[in-house]
Amino acid sequence: MPGPLLHVGATVLCAHGGQAQPTTPNPRVTVSGQPSVTMPPPWTVAGCPLPPPNAGNGPCVTATWTTGSTRVLSSGQPLLLADSQAICAPTVAPLMPAAFQTRVVGM
């Protein structure tokens, strides 16, 4: 299904409210003047409020995307869309894009 492309400036949160950031931007494709992001590299999560392991599962630390674009690639890698799915580690919570550009759509 088509969806807006994610870029470095998009606001992406873990299910608990932690801020997720890409570790490797993709400068070959820019959207709204900012680098896009591809699926394979992991994302870091900061500010997740879950308690440490002895009181809970621990905070979200990293996230891995499991779906991306199927028809739009950059350097042979799928780009991330606003409806792409991701899983955080160690909590297995999803990432949720909250604010993103809507001008460029991929599939």
Summarised one tens digit per residue, pLDDT across range 67-98 is: 999 999 999 999 999 999 999 999 999 999 99
Whether 52 shows a pLDDT value over 90: the answer reads no
> How far is it, in rounded angstroms, from Cα 8 to Cα 2?
19
Whether 1 shows a pLDDT value over 80: the answer reads no
> pLDDT at position 51, please?
84
Domain boundaries, given as residue ranges, for the chain: 3-99
pLDDT tens digit sequence for 2-42: 899 999 999 999 999 999 999 999 999 999 999 999 999 99
Q: Which residue has the higher pLDDT, 54 or 83?
A: 83
What's the Cα-to-Cα distance from 104 to each of 10, 30, 74, 79, rounded to whole Å? Answer: 13, 10, 14, 12
